Amino acid sequence: MRRKRGVRPGTSPGIERHLEAAPPAGAPPAVVRCIDYGRARCDVADVGDLAGFLHRPRPAGSRVRWIDVQDPNVWTIQQLREIYPIHTLAAEDVLTVPQRPKIEAYDQHLFVVTHMLRLQDDHVADEQVSFVLFPDTLITFQERGGDLWDPVRARLAADSSPMREHSAGYLLYALLDSIVDGFFPILEHQGDRLEEVEARILERPSTRDLHALHEMRRELIVLRRVVWPLRQAVDELLRAEHPEIDARTRTYLRDVSDHAVQVMDLVEVAREIVGSQTDLYMSSVSNRMNEVMKVLTIMASLFIPVTFLAGVYGMNFAHMPELAWVWSYPAFWAICAAVTVLLLLHFRAKGWIGGAEGRAPRP
């Protein structure tokens, strides 16, 4: 529930107000990488001087330009806006995290926001990614460095890659596809953990398992919150006839939507299993309590009557005829044994011992 760069209620909408402040001195500049590619070539450039780079002409034979900005700040976006007319509300959404995954069509470009989830040290890392799609240019903004797109870059760089023959819309598809396919390893990891937890709960449950279930439930909430609107966004992309998305790309986007539905399905299944395991845990705690209580009750019930009897014959009344009798002491032990045996039989009939917890009490 983080909201990194808060918006003060009541201030004017759009990116302009953020520009009033001067760039902080020590802030690291955004990392910008630009890939220009066409059927015959693929040029990768790490851009230091963004303004200069953008004003230089694109290489000959470049069909699509992909500008990838990591950790964007308002001044980088403003430099991009000098060439690319990114809408001020879209620019603001890039900077404000977290956004709900969505697609918005502006007059001059498509704007897509989503989240990229990755496993990092057994935890789910969540990063907002924004796409601005112009007819022959795709600008991507990543909240942080590190992404799932290296295979896509490798495909672009490979000799005679079929991907280089597609439009910028296909590049958008390929990146979205990577993001959605990236949810599956997370779910597989969760599936493994769920099986471990289930095995432990069935054998020897501990609060650690409950905390693990609680943790997983939270992760599933995050996943669902990302995947559901993402799928809606992709479906909207399929429904509306955006000129940036050609028919062939649309067939592939259907695949992305399909995968998103699969993820949703798996998330729902996992949620149900987490719920069922929580119930299992709770009932196992109840059973253990039952077990503890039974031990206490059996111990106390066996010894309380005979302890009383021992107390009786420890009394110092002057006139207690039994005290003098010779067979009193053996009789005492015999009574104790009889009481114990009777009580044990009673408890066995109740199913508390012997047949153990498998039997119901006879009311």
284-313 positions binding a second copy, by CB under 8 A: 284-297, 299-301, 303-308, 310-313
| Nearest of 168, 157, 152, 144 to residue 64 by alpha carbon | 168
Q: How far is the CB of 186 from a second copy (least distance, A)?
A: 11
Tell me which of 71, 136, 181, 236 binds a second copy, using CB under 8 A.
Answer: 181
At its nearest, how many Å lie between a second copy and the CB of residue 1?
4
Regarding 239 and contact with a second copy (CB under 8 A), the answer is no
Q: What gap in Å lies between CA 293 and CA 298, rounded to an integer?
A: 9
- Site pattern 56..95 for a second copy (x: CB under 8 A): ---------------------------------x------
- Give CA–CA dist 313/47, Å, rounded: 99
In this structure, are residues 216 and 194 in contact, taking their beta carbons and an 8 Å threshold?
yes
Contact (CB, 8 A) for 65 and 132 = no
User: Does 261 sit near a second copy (CB under 8 A)?
Assistant: yes
Nearest distance from C-beta of residue 286 to a second copy, angstroms: 5
How far apart (Å, rounded) are the C-alpha atoms in residues 53 and 33?
11
Closest CB 43 distance from a second copy, rounded Å: 20
Q: Determine the Cα angle at 99 with ends 93 and 103, to 5°.
A: 75
Q: Which is nearer to a second copy, 82 or 255 (CB)?
A: 255
Q: Does 272 bind a second copy (CB under 8 A)?
A: yes
Stretch of 38-46, 60-68, 197-205, 235-243 contacting a second copy, by CB under 8 A = 197-205
Q: What is the 3-state secondary structure (H, E, C) of 210-223?
A: HHHHHHHHHHHHHH
Rule CB under 8 A: say whether 340 interacts with a second copy.
Answer: no
**Rule CB under 8 A: which of 115-174 touch a second copy?**
148-152, 155, 162-163, 174
Among residues 187, 197, 230, 233, which is the contact residue for a second copy, using CB under 8 A?
187
CA 209/CA 298 separation, integer angstroms: 31
Rule CB under 8 A: which of 8-47 touch a second copy? 8-13
270 lines the binding site for a second copy (CB under 8 A): yes
Residue 106's Cα: distance from chain center in Å?
31
Provide the minimum distance between the beta carbon of 243 and a second copy in the complex, in angstroms, as a whole number.
Answer: 19
Count of chain residues binding a second copy (CB under 8 A): 124
Q: Supply the minimum distance, in Å, between the C-beta of residue 72 and a second copy.
A: 19
Q: Per 3-state DSSP, what percentage of the chain is helix, strand, and coil (rounded to 5)?
A: 55, 15, 30
- Lateral strand order in the sheet of 64-70: 42-47, 31-37, 64-70, 137-142, 123-134, 110-120, 102-105
- Cβ distance to a second copy smaller for residue 49 or 255: 255
183's tokens: 């949810």
Tokens of 218: 């939270």
Please give the structure tokens belonging to residue 32. Answer: 């910008």
CA 157/CA 154 separation, integer angstroms: 5
Q: Please, what is the minimum distance in Å from the beta carbon of residue 84 to a second copy? A: 19
Among 123, 208, 248, 348, binds a second copy (CB under 8 A): 208
Stretch that binds a second copy, among 22-30, 54-62, 136-144, 216-224 (CB under 8 A): 216-224
